[in-house]
């Protein structure tokens, strides 16, 4: 009897058995963590009142930006009109610019214009590009940024505002006759020949004929190219190709302003300088100023030794 008592296994209580059995049961699917994760992953439906508030906010922002851009453009136009009436000074400055360009050995604009004037089709296309592409493309570009890339819109708008404001000051302080008014140098006003000049009729009353420097036609086209490149440079292959093709716009604009005798080479150069100044003042819309533009520049190759 005593030996059987020693070899009998010890009996465990029912509570121990029940506890051991409960330890093997998996955790229920409806745990606290699972409930929190499911509720966080589930999309929150927007109420009708929130939708109305969002639409109202979007409409208010759009109207504010539209009024701001229109006010800037109106101030620029009025400023150009106030800067007129300096005929002799503007002609003198134009002669100085032509002499300086000869000293710098820049290509002769008159020779380039003479080559294009042999084709009525090319001259008509250049005049239409100058008159009808510059402003609509810039406005469409700003609308695209505001709708699709709001973070870049403010950066581009401020670049345009700063560059245009400085240009207006230069137009007032340094009147400059464009090449089309320098007929003694052999230039031709091609816009007057085919009747597409924006400086004829009503345009002559509000436009400053002696606001050649800097060329905002070229400057704004340069801003459009930089903006598209900044948005599309790191996207899919098709958009990356578009970010390179957009540079045809400032290139064609530069050729057009020379062929139509509306600007000198140095007018485009000064516009580029103003854009560089504006980009130093306005930071790039990223964690650090100009971060994306710096990434676009390829790293120099290290020579193999």
Its domain, for residue 286, covers 87-296
Q: Is residue 235 part of a domain?
A: yes
pLDDT for residue 304: 53
Which structure tokens are listed for 223?
């801003």
**3-state DSSP call for residue 206?**
helix
Residues forming beta bridges with residue 211, ordered by sequence position = 176
Quick one: residue 283, left, alpha or beta (phi over 0 = left, psi -120 to 50 = alpha)?
beta
Q: Is the peptide bond before 214 cis (omega within 30 degrees of 0)?
A: yes
In a domain, 116, yes or no: yes
Residue 176 pairs in a beta bridge with: 211
**What whole-number percentage of the chain has pLDDT above 70?**
71
Of 162, 150, 152, nearest in space to 284 by CA? 152
User: What percentage of the chain carries pLDDT values higher than 90?
Assistant: 44
- Number of domains composing the chain: 1
Q: What is the pLDDT of residue 74?
A: 72
The reply to whether 198 falls in a domain is: yes
Instruction: Assess whether pLDDT exceeds 60 at residue 55.
Output: yes
Is 120 inside any structural domain? Answer: yes
Reading the block at residue 87, the tokens are 């005929």
Does a structural domain hold residue 56?
no
Coil, helix or strand for 188? Answer: coil
CA distance 127 to 191: 6
Residue 213: inside a domain? yes
The first and second tokens of residue 196, run together, are: 């597409």
SS3 42: coil
Average pLDDT, the chain: 78
Residue scoring higher pLDDT (191 or 269)? 269
Q: Which of 92, 68, 261, 273 is nearest to 176 (CA)?
A: 92
């Amino acid at each position: 009897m005593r030996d059987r008592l020693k070899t009998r296994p010890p009996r465990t209580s029912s509570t121990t058995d029940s506890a051991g059995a409960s330890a093997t049961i998996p955790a229920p699917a409806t745990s606290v963590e699972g409930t929190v994760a499911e509720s966080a992953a589930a999309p929150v439906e927007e109420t009708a009142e929130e939708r109305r508030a969002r639409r109202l906010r979007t409409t208010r922002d759009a109207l504010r930006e539209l009024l701001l851009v229109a006010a800037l453009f109106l101030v620029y136009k009025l400023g150009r009109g106030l800067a007129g009436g300096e005929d002799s000074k503007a002609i003198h400055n134009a002669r100085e610019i032509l002499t300086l360009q000869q000293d710098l050995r820049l290509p002769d604009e008159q020779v380039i214009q003479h080559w294009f004037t042999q084709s009525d089709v090319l001259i008509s296309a250049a005049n239409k590009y100058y008159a009808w592409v510059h402003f609509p493309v810039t406005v469409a570009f700003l609308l695209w940024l505001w709708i699709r890339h709001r973070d870049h819109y403010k950066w581009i708008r401020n670049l345009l505002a700063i560059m245009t404001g400085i240009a207006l000051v230069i137009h007032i302080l340094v009147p400059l006759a464009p090449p089309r008014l320098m007929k003694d140098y052999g230039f031709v006003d091609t816009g007057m020949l085919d009747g597409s000049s924006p400086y004829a009729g009503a345009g002559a009353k509000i436009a400053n004929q002696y606001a050649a420097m800097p060329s905002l036609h070229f400057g704004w086209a340069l801003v459009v190219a930089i903006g598209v490149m900044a948005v599309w440079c790191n996207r899919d292959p098709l958009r990356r190709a578009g970010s390179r093709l957009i540079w045809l716009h400032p290139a064609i604009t530069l050729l057009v302003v020379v062929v139509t005798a509306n600007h000198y080479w140095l007018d485009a150069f000064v516009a580029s300088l103003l854009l560089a100044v504006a980009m130093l003042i306005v930071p790039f819309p990223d964690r650090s100023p100009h971060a994306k533009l710096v990434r676009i520049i390829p790293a120099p190759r290290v020579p193999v030794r």
